[in-house]
């Protein structure tokens, strides 16, 4: 395991305060090869060796290389199609964390039908499983993109805010699907008593990202690690907060164990709120002063419409959660990991 990843997991296990509630639990975690899914599994297993994890994956070899031999003793990989697999074959499941979803803007634009169907069909399957197995809790990973467009950041965005989304835009395949599946979670909680909660994550990054991770903070960290200039392909107006991966994992588990069924929670470190242009300048001023910030506008990159989403995290903080990593620490750990 990478040294920075190992250190992150160790610090998480040392400081996470709800670990005693998870003893002898069995989790089913989808998206185990993604940043959040793989990090969640590592963190869970670091908390308690009595925790067991089911991990449905499309590519077994890709999944196995992400975990060490000791971790794999507690993970039961299932190489399958997420929707087609017969989960009745599994024994008891206490908790489901549904992380699997497309994450690339390029994919959203080039494969909008598949984007919508993967999100909708996969979530419905997990909700049905949660009902069948009578799980103790489930968390569905949604996105701040459900809020659509907002151009006034004078007020923070609470969970009841709804900005404009154009249903006739191909790029809306992702946020519209996330909105639809959030509603489906609410319906399953109301009609069938499924204990599902919704985590609306801001852009999350940290040690464990892939070398081709296309999210803006990952791109900027990669450029800073190699002393390269930052080139913006938009005007850089879009603004949002960010969150380090183990802070997000902690938030997911707080929501799972202490959140209200059928409710949504913003997951972000609100102190990191800034624009894409502001982030580029932050990197120049604090990380790599020899770099330059350039603007080379480009179309058809699959970016979401410009928006300003100052997420309000009061609801999550009321559960007792607190973030540990600010923007400078996020970049420092990312760069050390990438280096």
Please check whether residue 234 lies inside any domain of the structure: no
Please tell me whether residue 97 adopts helix, strand or coil conformation. strand
CATH number for 166: 3.40.50.720
CB neighbours of residue 285 within 10 Å = 10
For residue 177, name the pLDDT band (cuts at 50, 70, 90). Answer: very high
Please check whether residue 299 lies inside any domain of the structure: no
* pLDDT value at residue 300: 56
Q: What mean pLDDT do residues 314-330 have?
A: 97
314 with 247: CB under 8 angstroms? Answer: no
Average confidence score pLDDT of the chain:
94
Percent of all residues in the chain with a pLDDT value above 90, rounded to a whole number: 82
DSSP tag of 57: E
C-alpha–C-alpha distance, residues 273 and 277, integer Å: 12
293 with 276: CB under 8 angstroms? Answer: no
Tens digit of each residue's pLDDT (9 = 90 or more) over 286-305: 988 888 888 887 665 556 77
Tens digit of each residue's pLDDT (9 = 90 or more) over 190-207: 999 999 999 999 999 999
Residue 302's nearest CA partner among 107, 119, 95 is 107
Domains in the chain, number: 1
* pLDDT value at residue 214: 81
pTM above 0.85, yes or no: yes
Torsion of CA 101, 103, 106, 108, to 10 degrees: 40
Please check whether residue 223 lies inside any domain of the structure: no
For residue 322, name the pLDDT band (cuts at 50, 70, 90). Answer: very high
* pLDDT value at residue 324: 97
Domain of residue 189 covers 3-206+242-270+310-326
Please check whether residue 32 lies inside any domain of the structure: yes
Q: What mean pLDDT do residues 166-191 have?
A: 98
Q: What mean pLDDT do residues 173-197 have?
A: 98
Q: Where are the alpha helices (DSSP H) in the chain?
A: 3-15, 35-47, 60-64, 69-72, 105-110, 112-133, 173-192, 216-225, 245-258, 276-286, 314-317, 327-338
Query: In sequence order, what DSSP letters do the residues of 263-280 get, joined into one string?
Result: -EEEE-EEEEEEEHHHHH
Please check whether residue 171 lies inside any domain of the structure: yes
> Which residues make Cβ contacts (< 8 Å) with residue 30, sequence separation at least 6?
37, 55, 56, 82, 96, 97, 98, 99, 100, 122, 126
C-alpha–C-alpha distance, residues 271 and 204, integer Å: 14
* pLDDT value at residue 301: 56
Residue 170's nearest CA partner among 238, 105, 119 is 105
Please tell me whether residue 58 adopts helix, strand or coil conformation. coil
Q: What are the angstrom distances between the C-alpha of 92 and each of 95, 132, 175?
A: 9, 10, 32
The least confident of 80-94, 112-126, 170-184, 223-237 is 223-237
CB neighbours of residue 268 within 10 Å = 28
Tens digit of each residue's pLDDT (9 = 90 or more) over 35-75: 999 999 999 999 987 999 999 999 999 999 999 999 999 99
CB neighbours of residue 259 within 10 Å = 25
Please check whether residue 188 lies inside any domain of the structure: yes
Q: Where are the alpha helices (DSSP H) in 82-162?
A: 105-110, 112-133
Q: Are strands 52-57 and 75-79 parallel, antiparallel or unpaired?
A: parallel
Q: What mean pLDDT do residues 311-317 have?
A: 98
> Which residues make Cβ contacts (< 8 Å) with residue 278, sequence separation at least 6?
236, 239
* pLDDT value at residue 233: 81
Please check whether residue 279 lies inside any domain of the structure: no
Q: What are the angstrom distances between the C-alpha of 258 and each of 118, 316, 319, 326?
A: 28, 10, 6, 24
* pLDDT value at residue 299: 64
Tens digit of each residue's pLDDT (9 = 90 or more) over 2-44: 999 999 999 999 999 999 999 999 999 999 999 999 999 999 9
The least confident of 77-81, 132-136, 242-246, 275-279 is 275-279
Please check whether residue 292 lies inside any domain of the structure: no
Residue 74's nearest CA partner among 96, 91, 92, 55 is 55
């Amino acid at each position: 395991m990478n040294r920075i990843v190992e250190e992150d997991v160790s610090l998480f296990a040392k400081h996470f305060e709800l670990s005693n509630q998870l003893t002898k639990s069995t989790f089913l975690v989808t998206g185990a090869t993604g940043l959040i899914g793989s990090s969640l599994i590592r963190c869970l297993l670091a908390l308690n060796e009595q925790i067991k994890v089911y991990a449905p994956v499309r590519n077994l070899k890709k999944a196995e290389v992400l975990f060490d031999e000791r971790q794999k003793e507690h993970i039961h990989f299932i190489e399958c199609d997420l929707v087609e697999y017969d989960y009745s074959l599994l024994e008891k499941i206490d908790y489901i964390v549904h992380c699997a979803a497309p994450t690339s803007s390029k994919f959203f634009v080039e494969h909008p039908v598949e984007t919508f169907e993967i999100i909708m069909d996969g979530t419905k399957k997990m909700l049905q499983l949660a009902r069948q197995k009578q799980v103790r809790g489930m968390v569905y990973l949604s996105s701040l993109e459900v809020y659509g467009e907002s151009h006034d950041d004078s007020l923070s965005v609470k969970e009841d805010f709804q900005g404009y989304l154009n249903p006739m835009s191909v790029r809306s395949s992702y946020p519209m699907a996330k909105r639809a599946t959030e509603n489906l979670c609410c319906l399953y909680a109301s009609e069938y008593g499924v204990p599902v909660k919704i985590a609306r994550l801001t852009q999350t990054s940290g040690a464990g990202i892939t070398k081709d991770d296309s999210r803006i903070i990952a791109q900027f960290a990669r450029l800073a690690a190699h002393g390269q200039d930052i080139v913006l392909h938009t005007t850089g107006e879009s603004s949002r907060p960010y969150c380090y991966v183990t802070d997000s994992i902690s938030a997911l588990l707080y929501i799972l164990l202490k959140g209200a069924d059928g409710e949504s929670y913003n997951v972000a470190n609100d102190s990191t709120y800034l624009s894409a242009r502001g982030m580029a300048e932050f990197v120049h001023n604090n990380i790599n002063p020899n770099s330059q910030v350039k603007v080379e506008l480009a179309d058809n990159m699959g970016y979401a419409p410009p928006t300003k989403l100052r997420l309000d995290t009061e609801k999550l903080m009321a559960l007792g959660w607190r973030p540990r990593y600010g923007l400078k620490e996020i970049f420092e750990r990312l760069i050390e990991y990438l280096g």
